[in-house]
């Protein structure tokens, strides 16, 4: 009878082991994850049928012999007055309701009888226990579980396996962010596509799709992993076909010199599905960076172009000199002259008339990609327009010079006029002073002459007066004599 039971157990153990291995291969999960799910399911089933309220049930499952062991696990903590703790918890709750701030130090960790045991209680079991010890009390293993417990165990296994699978996918593809993955388009949902990348299904959103590129079911393409994040439904992997770094990764795959870091890709500007510009550089004088990217008879670059659906790629040699770099970035157009405004980071590029359309590109694409590649604003100017601008500038300069000269001459003339006026004023004032002095002198002379003439007149007038007086006397005497005679 004992031999039959042992053979039955061995047969059951082999079946369980095979089932675990099958799940591991199908879900790509490690053996420990599946066994952990089985142990969690058995613990849930035990609590359903045989567990008590404060038991922390742990099940150890041995896949080799299909045997289980059940334990009640508790951690030893210091003694706590539960009534006092409840009062403190109530006070904290009232403070929270009053919107008071509570620091982390004031927070109280409540005693959990399901997972913890006080030190005094642990000493009753064994005096050797101390704080922090884990006590595993072995429980009786039942012979069989009920239907509800089995159903619970099934649900727990499914849930735990799903969680383990999600975590495994997230951890695996999180490390693949910024790399290329090979995927197969499985189906379309609205405007986005679902892509099978092996162990997971990723999404290709509409903003990451190349215009006019066909994503038919079953098409195998290289995709760039933009982002991996966890959602409520599990990990979400976002792919891209428009990201500039997909060009970098394809070059690293096809060009050994780039993979070995002998040739460095300095910058990439891209308009997905149409055209890209790639700036490459090497410090090794024996390596041609452009030739190594193009490959023999263009084999390497052609593979990359085919992978990107026929997208044109310009490979440009990076230069430290910004003028040379701008000239290279505008290839295949030939540049005559470049004028830089380093403060505003703008460059005026002068080209011949026959190179003007080539430098600008279809719809301004060439100059737009060159500006993105260099990081400067680029203005394309034809040589004829540049000559006109130069002539106008020279005319403006000459006119301004002439205007300045005329203004200077006018200022000089005004100064001279002012000086002349001031000198005339001084002269007139001097003349007036001289004239006044002369007039004063003449007046003085006239006064002196008048005085002298008056004196002469007075002298002349004195004898006449004497004569007049003598005549008067004679007349008076004559009149008296006549009266006497009468």
pTM: 0.62
Same domain for 147 and 10: yes
Is 181 contained in some domain? Answer: yes
CATH number for the domain that contains residue 187: 2.40.50.140
d(CA 71, CA 66) in angstroms, rounded, equals 17
Same domain for 201 and 71: no
Same domain for 180 and 59: no
- Rounded to whole angstroms, the maximal C-alpha distance in the chain is 230
Domain of residue 136: give its range.
2-97+109-170
Q: Of 187, 209, 240, at which residue does a domain stop? A: 240
Is 84 contained in some domain? Answer: yes
Is 409 contained in some domain? Answer: no
Q: Are 242 and 205 contacting, i.e. CB atoms less than 8 angstroms apart?
A: no
Q: Are 110 and 174 contacting, i.e. CB atoms less than 8 angstroms apart?
A: no
Is 355 contained in some domain? Answer: no
Find tokens 């205007």 and name the residue.
403
Same domain for 161 and 49: yes
Per-residue pLDDT, 456: 45
Same domain for 213 and 148: no
Same domain for 22 and 52: yes
d(CA 324, CA 316) in angstroms, rounded, equals 11
Same domain for 166 and 22: yes
Residue 137's DSSP bridge partners are 72
Per-residue pLDDT, 415: 62
Q: Of 143, 170, 197, at which residue does a domain stop? A: 170
Per-residue pLDDT, 207: 92
CATH number for the domain that contains residue 124: 3.30.1480.10
Give the total number of structural domains in the chain: 2
Q: Of 192, 214, 240, at which residue does a domain stop? A: 240
Is 199 contained in some domain? Answer: yes
Cα distance between the two ends of the chain: 229
- Look at residues 344, 343, 347 and name the one whose alpha carbon lies nearest to residue 335: 347
- Look at residues 168, 176, 166 and name the one whose alpha carbon lies nearest to residue 233: 166
d(CA 311, CA 301) in angstroms, rounded, equals 11
d(CA 7, CA 209) in angstroms, rounded, equals 60
Per-residue pLDDT, 449: 53
Residue 330 burial by Cβ neighbours in a 10 Å radius (0-12, 13-18, 19+): buried
Per-residue pLDDT, 12: 60
Three state DSSP letters for the chain: CHHHHHHHHHHHHHHHHHHHHHHHHHHCCCHHHHHHHHHHHHHHHHHHHCCCCCCCEEEEEECCCCEEEEEEEEEEECCCCHHHHHHHHHHHHHHHHCCCCCCCCCCCCCCCCCCEEEHHHHHHHCCCCCCCCEEEEEECCCCCCCHHHHHHHHHHHHHHHHHHHHHHHHHHHHCCCCCEEEEEEEEEECCEEEEECCCCEEEECHHHCCCCCCCCCCCEEEEEEEEEEEECCEEEEEEECCCCHHHHHHHHHHCHHHHCCCCEEEEEEEECCCEEEEEEECCCCCCCHHHHHHCHHHHHHHHHHHHCCCCEEEEEECCCCHHHHHHHHCCCCCCCEEEEECCCCEEEEEECHHHHHHHHCHHHHHHHHHHHHHCCEEEEEEHHHHHHHHHHHHHHHHHHHHHHHHHHHHHHHHHHHHHHHHHHHHHHHHHHHHHHHHHHHHHHHHHHHHHHHHHHHHHHHHHHHHHHHHHHHHHHHHHHHHHHHC
Is 389 contained in some domain? Answer: no
Same domain for 189 and 125: no
Is 227 contained in some domain? Answer: yes
Same domain for 143 and 35: yes
Same domain for 187 and 141: no
Same domain for 125 and 43: yes
* pLDDT-flagged residues of the chain (< 50): 1-7, 424-428, 432-434, 436, 450-451, 453-469, 471, 485-486
The phi, psi pair for 261, rounded to 5°, reads 65, 20
Same domain for 85 and 30: yes
Is 432 contained in some domain? Answer: no
């Amino acid at each position: 009878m004992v031999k039959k039971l042992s053979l039955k157990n061995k047969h059951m153990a082999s079946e369980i082991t095979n089932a675990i291995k099958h799940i591991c291969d199908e879900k790509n999960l490690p053996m420990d994850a599946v066994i952990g799910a089985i142990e969690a399911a058995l613990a849930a089933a035990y609590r359903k049928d045989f567990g008590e309220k404060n038991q922390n049930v742990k099940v150890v499952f041995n896949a080799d012999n299909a045997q289980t062991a059940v334990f009640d696990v508790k951690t030893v903590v210091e003694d706590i007055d539960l009534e006092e703790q409840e009062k403190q918890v109530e006070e904290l709750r009232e403070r929270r309701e009053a919107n008071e701030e509570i620091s982390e130090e004031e927070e109280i960790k409540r005693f959990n009888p399901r997972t913890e045991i006080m030190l005094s209680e642990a000493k009753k079991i064994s005096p050797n226990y101390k704080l922090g010890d884990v006590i595993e009390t072995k429980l009786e293993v039942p012979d069989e579980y009920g239907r509800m417990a089995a159903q619970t165990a099934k649900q727990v296994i499914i849930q735990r396996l799903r969680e383990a699978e999600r975590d495994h996918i997230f951890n695996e593809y999180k490390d693949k962010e910024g790399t290329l993955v090979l995927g197969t388009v499985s189906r379309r949902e609205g405007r986005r596509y679902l892509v099978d990348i092996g162990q997971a299904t990723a999404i290709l959103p509409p903003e990451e799709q190349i215009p006019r590129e066909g994503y038919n079911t079953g098409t195998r393409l290289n995709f760039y992993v933009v982002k991996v994040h966890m959602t409520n439904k599990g990990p979400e992997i976002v792919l891209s076909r428009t990201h500039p770094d997909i060009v970098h990764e394809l070059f690293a795959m096809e060009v050994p010199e780039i993979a070995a870091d002998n040739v460095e890709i300095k910058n990439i500007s891209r308009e997905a599905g149409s055209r890209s510009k790639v700036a490459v550089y090497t410090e090794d004088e024996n390596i041609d960076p452009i030739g190594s990217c193009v490959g023999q008879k263009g084999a390497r670059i052609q593979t990359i172009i085919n992978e990107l659906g026929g997208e044109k790629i310009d490979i440009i040699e990076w230069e430290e000199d910004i003028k040379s770099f701008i000239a290279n970035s505008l290839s295949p157009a030939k540049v005559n002259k470049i004028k830089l405004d380093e403060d505003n980071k703008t460059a005026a590029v002068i080209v011949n008339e026959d190179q003007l359309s080539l430098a600008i590109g279809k719809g301004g694409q060439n100059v737009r990609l060159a500006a993105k590649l260099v990081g400067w604003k680029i203005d394309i100017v034809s040589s004829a327009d540049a000559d006109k601008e130069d002539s106008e500038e020279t005319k403006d300069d000459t006119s301004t010079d002439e205007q300045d000269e005329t203004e200077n001459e006018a200022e000089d003339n005004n100064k001279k006029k002012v000086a002349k006026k001031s000198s005339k004023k001084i002269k007139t004032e001097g003349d007036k002073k001289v004239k006044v002095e002369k007039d004063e002198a003449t007046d003085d002379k006239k006064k002196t002459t008048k005085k002298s003439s008056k004196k002469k007149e007075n002298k002349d007038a004195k004898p006449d007066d004497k004569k007049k007086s003598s005549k008067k006397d004679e007349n008076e005497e004559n009149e008296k004599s006549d009266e006497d005679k009468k």
